[in-house]
Structure 1
Amino acid sequence: MSDRLRRIEAVTDTALAHLDVEDLLTELLDRVRDLLDVDTAAVLLFDPTARVLVATAARGIEEEVRQGVRIPLGKGFAGRIATEKRPVITEKVDHAHVLNPILRDKGIHSLLGVPLLIGSTVIGVLHVGTLSTRHFTDEDSLLLQLVADRVALATHARTMQIEQAVATTLQRSLLPAELPTVPGLEFAARYVAGGDGEVGGDWYDVFGLPSGWLCIVVGDVVGRGLCAAATMGRLRSALRAYALECTDPAHLLDKLDQQMRHFEPDTMATVLCAMVEPSCEQLHLSSAGHPPPVSVRPGLPAAVLELPIDLPAGVDAGRPRHTSTMAFPPGTDICLYTDGLIERRGSPLDAGLERLRRSVFAGPAESVCAAVMSELLGADHPIDDVAVLVLRRQDRAEMGPLHLRMPAVPVSLGLIRAAVRRWLTGTGADTDEIAGLLVAVGEACANVVEHAYGPGGGTVDVHMTIQPPDVVATIRDTGRWRAPRGQVRGRGITLMRGLSDDVRIEQTGAGTHVVIRAALASQGPR
């Protein structure tokens, strides 16, 4: 017995530290077979989502892994071990005791199996077998359980490391690689994993829609680790799809509720959804159990937005949701975040929310985001994940030139129109001036889409700048224009000339430039 115990010490030695889970288990099973003088050995790990044991490593019965054997809890030999959490011995394998036909087909006569336990939690089953009848003793059972305890610890630690790495990679891949460039708006964002570095389900997202609206989402899936990160990815994708169908954030969250109640019945998430109008003049918000944003306007103190906090997503798809509308004048900053930013042990949420309010100011989005993280986190490591997104509408002094490069396809025309509208609004152009320039620039871009390129396609560039008192729009392509098709053509250029002060068109071998110039009352007299 003492000799065997010494040999057990070698089952999980430091030489195995570099191996991944499957290679680690395979090496351990070779040592187990030698230790107990058996013909087969296998590990089945528990999948809590499907509630089955999955064949993960095997020696002598490699078919278990290759065929993807899955044993439900409570069924067959391995399922019984996992349910009862104790060793089980079968001296004669038959249909009554064994669910997996591979064990019978392989000619295994006797089996000994033990649970893999972390505390009182079953993470799998380890079993060994012989091709001849064998009477496994209590000593054999004790030895295998000692080995199983070491296997469980090593496997659990390695699995957690791998899951954390996968979850981190998954979450980073699902968060926006870069925030979009939207004329007249600035964005800044941060994500910090909480606790021991294990990621959760916090996320933020910013994306434009074909209608010209902009959707902004900050959310937090209840839970930690790979499962929460994967759920976050599914919810993010669902929200993006639903946003193509509606611009009311409450309706959008209603659809998410229905999706979660049907496909994710055990999931809950808090979500704050904001929709920005194409003109940027107003912001529409709806909160599914999520903490309220903090907003600040130039010359005024920051304030926590007062809006209804409805139930978290996934709780009750039948309860009504509410949308709040707020003005979004130039110079306004809005800070959206997850609760990890303001939660602290022993301190009420209101105190954290007040600290956040004091740290938000009217200024560049990146500066505000940095100040918030410095004030709320400092050198501390957060208990929970933290996601922060700052949105700022630029004032007139911050408005630089507008430059867009879009595919020369019809769907781009709506996006160009929304971007031009936002930019013109920021310059102080009035309603009539904006309407006229939208038509003039739109006609120039539509001509590029229709005439400049063949089937191979190309791009349309739109550049707009202020040359007081005028706004100057330049639309460029690199194609060779096709002749007009149809009988009634050419009205686009007439519209451009009628809605602006000057239109110049230059066609060269490198493409076509259309320059539109129009005076703006806000820029002074001509």
Structure 2
Amino acid sequence: MSRSVGSDNAEERLRRIEAVTDTTLAHLAVEELLEELLKRVRDILDADTATVLLVDGGGQNLIATASSGIEEEVRQGVRIRVGRGFAGRIAARREPLVLERVSPATVANPLLWQKGIQSLAGVPLVAGGELLGVLHIGRISGDPFTSRDVELLQLAADRVALATRARRSHVERAAASALQRSLLPARLPRIPGLELSARYAPGEGGSVSGDWYDVFTLPSGWLCVAIGDVVGRGLTAATVMSRMRTAMRSFAIDSADPSEALSKADRHVRHFEPQTMATIAYAMWEPSLERMHLSLAGHLAPVMAPAGGVAALAEVPIDPPVGVGSAPLRRNTTVIDVPPGATVLFYTDGLVERRHRPLDAGLKLLRDSVVSGPTETVCSTVMARLVGNDPTDDDIAVLALRRQTPEELRTMDLDVDAVPESLSDIRSALRRWLPAVGASEDDVADLLVVVGEACANAVEHAYGPRGGPLNIRLEAGEDEVRVTVKDSGNWREPRGRLRGKGTQLMRQLSDELHVEHDPHGTTVHIRRRLAGGDPP
């Protein structure tokens, strides 16, 4: 019995095809949308099966994404190579194809002949000149598909392609934006002696690019600052950006200077991301914060603004971006003095590049806009003057760091968890703060022991394994340093016969040591006269 539909209802079928996507489907996700559309296509074209296979990210394979009547294709993750089999040939040629007889010789997917499908018709899914995938329908019995069926199927496919691209673009933008937001630091680390602020603004087009920044410390006490831009847009660029950020953290652990870390990143990209190019500015600050070691991989130089002075671009050679060329490159590291009160501003090119403004003009405007001061004010001023109400289709990342002056550092509070992992952070903070308030090397060495012992005691005795709040208050006087270490736990009695040696050492290395226990916790008061100060 014939299953073809007569010409008397052809107009009705055409009307239904033209309405295959409507506003009632607007709330559906991509897979749900496709499943509903395939049900309608099956009904209109009197087919037993309908399947959409979408091109994967590499453009080499078709992946079964939605199906009606042969749902096993999706559940089993059917993958067809472009150019191979029925769907693969349609994708490669971007032309419709009809099979009057399905067999292992004509299709690559065994599910089709195992299902008993006798005839197939398929068309490419194309939107805006981009191949999205293939839509094919099948019949288990009845007449093969006609040229009129194929015309209607292509009409339906055009609407399916437009709806899929729009929905997928929306989903990818949301996913890329969420990924980028999750990877940008939710809160910049608190670095004693350094003030930090940042801004990130997505482009007006709504498509996220690969702009990112990162700030982290190493076990050695060095501070690392990275900012970069992966060439490209959308979810792919955001995904590569996430891998790049993670890779840079890994390379930083085992790299002696920024150029070494960027050389490793270059090899990583050329091997694992061969189609990727990225610019990166990577700086390592000495624990004292007095000097910054900087290397640029195709990235614009940061702006340096001394306290009360004129801002200028850092004089640093710009090496090629990572991912360029096929051979390792010799990269450069420049050591830059950062005096107290100076501000360093890192940024991505979206801040200074505009179609209506030469790059040099944008850089001049940026230099004129940066004046050393509170970093929040610096970021706000820069964004107001260089962005204002001027739309840009590129993302913008800005990161400002200012080295605080000794006067600003006379008093500092550190709030940490009383767990062993916090002890290295406390030592790093002391190594930065003590020299800034006039402590000598001997002072620093002794106070690291005294304060470290007080904090270690709190970690061991005040709380259980989960820790609790620990506050370290640092105060610098004219010729002395006072440190208060306070917890709110209930101290356990020391274990072992040889305990108490730490307290004895603390007394020897400080000029005054006083321990207070009360129902609210324990407070350790430490006073150390700095070298050169008069005896009390």
TM-score, length-scaled by structure 1: 0.94
Aligned equivalents of 1:195, 1:83: Cα separation in 2: 35
What is the aligned counterpart of 2:322 among 313, 316, 325?
Answer: 313
Out of 249-258 and 360-369, give the one that drifted further.
Answer: 249-258
Q: Does 1:483 align with 2:519?
A: no
What is the aligned counterpart of 2:339 among 307, 329, 344?
Answer: 329
Q: SS where residue 281 of structure 2 aligns? A: strand
**Contact residue 211 and residue 415 of structure 1 kept, 8 A:** no
Task: Return the offset for 1:262.
Answer: 2.1
Aligned equivalents of 2:223, 2:101: Cα separation in 1: 67
Aligned equivalents of 1:197, 1:104: Cα separation in 2: 44
What is the aligned counterpart of 2:33 among 4, 19, 24?
Answer: 24
Q: What's the counterpart of residue 153 of structure 1?
A: 162
Task: Return the offset for 1:410.
Answer: 4.1
Q: Does 1:169 align with 2:178?
A: yes
Aligned equivalents of 1:141, 1:524: Cα separation in 2: 97
Q: 1:455 to 1:120 in 2, by over 3 A?
A: closer
Task: Return the offset for 1:429.
Answer: 3.5
Task: Return the offset for 1:391.
Answer: 0.6
Q: What's the counterpart of residue 76 of structure 1?
A: 85
Q: 1:4 to 1:522 in 2, by over 3 A?
A: farther
> For each residue in 1:115-135, what CA deviation from the matched residue of structure 2 results, as whole angstroms up to 9, or x when unmatched?
001233210111111011423
Task: Return the offset for 1:415.
Answer: 1.6
Name structure 2 gaps, 5 residues minimum.
Answer: 1-9
Amino acid at match of 2:355: R
What is the aligned counterpart of 1:382 among 353, 367, 392?
Answer: 392
> For each residue in 1:227-274, what CA deviation from the matched residue of structure 2 results, as whole angstroms up to 9, or x when unmatched?
110111111111112222234111111221222222212111111111
Aligned equivalents of 1:60, 1:199: Cα separation in 2: 37
Task: Return the offset for 1:297.
Answer: 0.6
Q: SS where residue 203 of structure 1 aligns? A: strand
What is the aligned counterpart of 1:492 among 494, 502, 512?
Answer: 502
Q: What's the counterpart of residue 151 of structure 2?
A: 142
Q: What's the counterpart of residue 61 of structure 2?
A: 52
Q: 1:485 to 1:457 in 2, by over 3 A?
A: farther
Task: Return the offset for 1:437.
Answer: 2.4
Q: What's the counterpart of residue 391 of structure 1?
A: 401
Q: 1:522 to 1:271 in 2, by over 3 A?
A: farther
What is the aligned counterpart of 2:17 among 1, 8, 12?
Answer: 8
What is the aligned counterpart of 1:436 among 415, 427, 446?
Answer: 446
Amino acid at match of 2:505: L
Task: Return the offset for 1:290.
Answer: 0.6
Aligned equivalents of 1:92, 1:497: Cα separation in 2: 94
Q: What's the counterpart of residue 7 of structure 2?
A: none
Task: Return the offset for 1:519.
Answer: 3.4
Task: Return the offset for 1:399.
Answer: 2.5
Aligned equivalents of 2:195, 2:241: Cα separation in 1: 25
Task: Return the offset for 1:309.
Answer: 1.0
Task: Return the offset for 1:19.
Answer: 1.6
Task: Kindly report the root-mean-square deviation, in angstroms, between the aligned alpha carbons of the 2 structures.
Answer: 2.2
Q: 1:188 to 1:454 in 2, by over 3 A?
A: closer
Q: 1:240 to 1:504 in 2, by over 3 A?
A: same
Q: What's the counterpart of residue 377 of structure 2?
A: 367
Task: Return the offset for 1:49.
Answer: 2.1
Out of 238-247 and 293-302, give the one that drifted further.
Answer: 238-247
Amino acid at match of 1:483: P
Aligned equivalents of 2:270, 2:288: Cα separation in 1: 35
Task: Return the offset for 1:36.
Answer: 1.0
**Contact residue 410 and residue 477 of structure 2 kept, 8 A:** no
Aligned equivalents of 2:533, 2:81: Cα separation in 1: 74
**Contact residue 249 and residue 286 of structure 1 kept, 8 A:** yes
Name structure 1 gaps, 5 residues minimum.
Answer: none
**Contact residue 81 and residue 113 of structure 1 kept, 8 A:** yes
**Contact residue 269 and residue 276 of structure 2 kept, 8 A:** yes
Q: Does 1:405 align with 2:448?
A: no
**Contact residue 53 and residue 73 of structure 1 kept, 8 A:** yes
> For each residue in 1:101-147, what CA deviation from the matched residue of structure 2 results, as whole angstroms up to 9, or x when unmatched?
11111100000000001233210111111011423222111111111
**Contact residue 419 and residue 465 of structure 2 kept, 8 A:** no
Amino acid at match of 1:278: P
Task: Return the offset for 1:466.
Answer: 3.3
Structure 1 residues 29-428: aligned runs within 5 Å: 29-49=38-58, 51-316=60-325, 318-399=328-409, 401-428=411-438
TM-score, length-scaled by structure 2: 0.93
Task: Return the offset for 1:486.
Answer: 6.2
Out of 272-281 and 357-366, give the one that drifted further.
Answer: 272-281
> For each residue in 1:291-327, what CA deviation from the matched residue of structure 2 results, as whole angstroms up to 9, or x when unmatched?
1000111121001001121121122451111111111
Quote the sequence identity (%): 56
Task: Return the offset for 1:2.
Answer: 2.8
Task: Return the offset for 1:428.
Answer: 3.7
Amino acid at match of 2:321: P
Aligned equivalents of 1:175, 1:104: Cα separation in 2: 50
Amino acid at match of 1:362: S
Q: 1:393 to 1:456 in 2, by over 3 A?
A: closer
